[in-house]
Amino acid sequence: MNRVYNFAAGPSMLPVEVLEEAQRELLNFNGTGMSVTEISHRAKPFMAVVEEAESRLRSLMNISDDYYVLFVQGGASQQFAAVPLNLLGKNNKADYVVSGNFANKAYQEAQIYGDIHVAGSSKADTYTYIPKNLDIRSDAAYLHITSNNTIFGTRFKEFPKTNVPLVADMSSEILSREIDVNKFGVIYAGAQKNIAPAGVTIVIAKKSLVDDAENVLPSCPTMLKWSTQAKDGSLYNTPPCFSIYMSMLVFRRLEKLGGVKAIEEINEAKAKMLYDFIDGSKLYKSTVNKEDRSIMNVPFVTGSEELDAKFIKEATQNGLCSLKGHRLVGGMRASIYNAMPVEGVKALIDFMKKFEVENA
């Protein structure tokens, strides 16, 4: 079958057993005689998929009944607008931590809708660290963070302590580590990094925030209102059925593996292996502040653009794919999400060793 190790930042690797199950039943889901992509979203067999996906996610993340769990479309980028549109109705002030490229995009989008303040930024230092000692306005409607920065490879190891609702884009680390959902007002995440094929976005939002209609700006499109999907169990209009189905399969598998705690241990081990090797190497260098290192996205450089290009080319020839770093950082980036097996990281390190020797 010749599957490769795919280190792409998203869309990215999916568990092979999930793909195999989807493949087996692609023409006949659960004995319906239809593909899961053909079933009406209001038919029982598909509504059961949405319900199972929601209940498994609630169980995996220990999400209480105080929160809605929504499956929406448009990716995190769409939530960059949805967040202020749903939360700035009463008070148009919001604070943002600008810790990366997407954090900055979220900040820029919010400026369309309100008085937006930078609570902390590492932009001037090319986002090589997570801003600390935040300046949060006490009357802000919310504080927005990007919990893991996909491009730059940093993450909030600890989340900011604040009295205003905390809103987090967790696209590139959702389900990778245990978090206390109760500390957040809203969590959102595009699925295409750590969950499922692109097309579905998860929104976990405190009911008290969503149910208060005064929080919503009058110009908010119906489809971007969280309350729209909350009222209809994510079935206000036709949802991205296949991506929700795949999410359900991934959630099932994660439960079998032992849940978030179990995968967190594996993720920590994978990241440690890779960072330890980089730190001990003479050729490769990590690009970010050590204490802020992401365990999902690991950028590294050789210091020579020519050598970086050679590395990427030869790695690809060895079945280690999509290692090219984002143009804003250059070099390489290994995204090692939940679906990347330990063997993939080991194969990468073996190749890195060999390449270092050959190019010493």
Distance of alpha carbon 41 from alpha carbon 30, whole angstroms? 15
Rule CB under 8 A: is residue 41 a binding residue for its own copies?
A: yes
Run of H or E including 144: strand 143-146
Run of H or E including 263: helix 259-280
Q: How far, rounded to the nearest angstrom, does the alpha carbon of residue 188 sit from its chain's CA centroid?
A: 8
Residues 77-96 that bind its own copies (CB under 8 A): 77-78, 80-82, 85
Long-range contacts of 206-210 (CB under 8 A, 24+ apart): 206/66, 206/67, 206/68, 206/165, 207/65, 207/66, 207/67, 207/68, 208/66, 209/86, 209/87, 209/165, 209/185, 210/68, 210/86
Rule CB under 8 A: is residue 62 a binding residue for its own copies?
A: no
Q: How far, rounded to the nearest angstrom, does the alpha carbon of residue 195 sit from its chain's CA centroid?
A: 8
- What DSSP assignment string belongs to 50-101? HHHHHHHHHHHHT--TTEEEEEESSHHHHHHHHHHHHH-SS--EEEEEE-SH
- Nearer to its own copies among residue 52 and residue 356 (C-beta): 52
Rule CB under 8 A: is residue 8 a binding residue for its own copies?
A: yes
In the complex, least distance from residue 105 CB atom to its own copies, rounded to whole angstroms: 8
- Which of 89, 185, 239, 325 touches its own copies (CB under 8 A)? 239
In the complex, least distance from residue 285 CB atom to its own copies, rounded to whole angstroms: 24
- Which of 47, 181, 198, 235 touches its own copies (CB under 8 A)? 198
Rule CB under 8 A: is residue 149 a binding residue for its own copies?
A: no
Rule CB under 8 A: is residue 35 a binding residue for its own copies?
A: yes
Q: Tell me which residue has tokens 């050729």.
A: 283
- Nearer to its own copies among residue 40 and residue 59 (C-beta): 40
Residues 104-143 that bind its own copies (CB under 8 A): 109, 112-113
In the complex, least distance from residue 220 CB atom to its own copies, rounded to whole angstroms: 8
- Nearer to its own copies among residue 254 and residue 283 (C-beta): 254
Binding piece for its own copies, criterion CB under 8 A, among 2-10, 57-65, 281-289, 307-315: 2-10
Rule CB under 8 A: is residue 259 a binding residue for its own copies?
A: no
Rule CB under 8 A: is residue 20 a binding residue for its own copies?
A: yes
- Nearer to its own copies among residue 97 and residue 196 (C-beta): 196
Distance of alpha carbon 356 from alpha carbon 349, whole angstroms? 10
- Nearer to its own copies among residue 237 and residue 359 (C-beta): 237
- Which of 224, 248, 263, 288 touches its own copies (CB under 8 A)? 224
Question: 106 pairs with which residues across the strands?
Answer: none
Distance of alpha carbon 243 from alpha carbon 119, whole angstroms? 35
- Output the CA–CA distances (angstroms, integers) from residue 325 to 193, 246, 302, 329, in the order listed: 16, 27, 12, 6
Binding piece for its own copies, criterion CB under 8 A, among 69-77, 119-127, 137-145, 296-304: 69-77
Report the candidate in 164, 165, 59, 145 with the shortest Cα–Cα distance to residue 102.
Answer: 145
Residue ranges in contact with its own copies by CB under 8 A = 1-4, 6, 8-14, 16, 19-20, 22-23, 26-28, 31-35, 37-41, 43, 73-78, 80-82, 85, 109, 112-113, 190, 192, 197-200, 218-219, 221-224, 236-243, 246, 319, 321-322
